[in-house]
Structure 1
Amino acid sequence: MLKHFFCIGLAISLISCAKDPVPKPSGELRLEYPESKYAKFENDCHYTFEFSDFAAIEDAKKPCWFYLNYPEMKGKVFITYFPIKGDLQAHIKEAEKMVYEHTVKASSIDTKSFEYPEKRVFGNFYELKGQSASNLQFYITDSTRHFVTAYLYFNSRPKPDSLAPAVEYVKKDMQHLIDTFEWK
């Protein structure tokens, strides 16, 4: 009888010594995007540019305002246009205010000025690092009549590590947009 209790006790202890199940931690998907092919955006507004075929152009609230929609990334670039009526500095201050409102969450802001005098295209490109709601922003002006701004937003919580591939992809597209931007 003692022999049977010993065998049963040994069997139970061998079975019960397995590791407890532990749930897998949640993780993010690794996202890879196709090589960009660009198309020219023609419109009735005062400007044209090239944009990625991975994005779709949608009309926004006002004339000459557009969304550059990246549906697979759940992201949008908001493009706005303002005519300059002697108020260029006010438009620049407003664009910079939109950038620096993110300093609460951004760990750093990299600013790059650009100018293409032959096309009368001047402006600044801002890259916001950290948990900022908007990672990329820019403004373009001809300094006399036209002013365009663009802001990238994702429809998700700002997670810099998870959004990094999407931000890099859109950054290349936005830089191409700036390089091909022309006034009519």
Structure 2
Amino acid sequence: MFKNLIIIVVGLSLFSCGKEPVPKPKGDLRLEYPNPKYTRFSTPCSYSFDYSDFASVKEAKQPCWYNLSYPKMKANVFITYFPIKNDFPLHVKEVEKMVYEHTIKASAIDTKFFQYPEKKVYGNFYELKGQTASNIQFFVTDSTRHFVTGNLYFNTRPKPDSLAPAVDYIKKDLLHLIDSFEWKK
């Protein structure tokens, strides 16, 4: 009986040995964000827009430039303003240059044109996919006097899968910002 027990234990130990266990890779958390409530931001400059209560607006280095900060996401949308002085094509080229500099890392760049003629609001919205430094860029203009750009950056390495929930949330906010954008008279 004791002999049979030893044979069974030795036999099981031979078959139980196999590959070494491999730890599972570290996973990222699934992030969910609250439904936004929008607040009107009226600048002393020539424009206003709605922004999410999940963000805050801070003044930047130049007059009429602002940072739309999402501290819990470690993200910033840099909003810049330029008056147009017979240089409208140069502003558009500069935005496109900034967008297409990311083609090295971008897997795709989706461009959407928008226009609200009743408010004299026109522009492009660029969504950059892949491991790009900036995931979203846009410009808003009245095409004669004012030009505003926006660029989204995260304070982290570009990891498209990990950042996807935050990018989607901010994308919806920025589309709402554009929909609510108005020039002051």
Note if 1:22 corresponds to 2:22.
yes
State the alpha-carbon separation in 2 of the partners of residues 12 and 29 from structure 1.
43
SS at match of 2:73: coil
Matches within 5 A, 1:31-50: 31-50=31-50
**Residue 108 of structure 2 corresponds to which residue in structure 1?**
108
SS at match of 1:34: coil
**Residue 98 of structure 1 corresponds to which residue in structure 2?**
98
**Residue 145 of structure 1 corresponds to which residue in structure 2?**
145
Percentage identity across paired residues of the two chains? 66
CA shift for structure 1 position 43: 1.7
Q: CA RMSD in A?
A: 1.9
5+ unaligned residues in a row in structure 1: which ranges? none
**Residue 86 of structure 1 corresponds to which residue in structure 2?**
86
What TM-score results when the alignment is normalised by the length of structure 1? 0.90
State the alpha-carbon separation in 1 of the partners of residues 22 and 137 from structure 2.
42
State the alpha-carbon separation in 1 of the partners of residues 22 and 10 from structure 2.
21
CA shift for structure 1 position 11: 5.5
SS at match of 2:72: coil
Listed one character per residue, the Cα deviations across residues 96-146 of structure 1 (whole Å, up to 9, x for unaligned) are 111000000001111111111111101000111111111111001111111
**Residue 77 of structure 1 corresponds to which residue in structure 2?**
77
SS at match of 1:179: helix
**Residue 119 of structure 1 corresponds to which residue in structure 2?**
119
Listed one character per residue, the Cα deviations across residues 147-175 of structure 1 (whole Å, up to 9, x for unaligned) are 00000011111111111111110010000
Query: Which 4+ residue blocks in structure 1 deviate beyond 6 angstroms?
Result: none
State the alpha-carbon separation in 2 of the partners of residues 38 and 68 from structure 1.
13
SS at match of 2:162: helix
State the alpha-carbon separation in 1 of the partners of residues 11 and 87 from structure 2.
81
**Residue 181 of structure 2 corresponds to which residue in structure 1?**
181
State the alpha-carbon separation in 1 of the partners of residues 22 and 129 from structure 2.
34
What amino acid sits opposite 1:86 in the alignment?
A: N
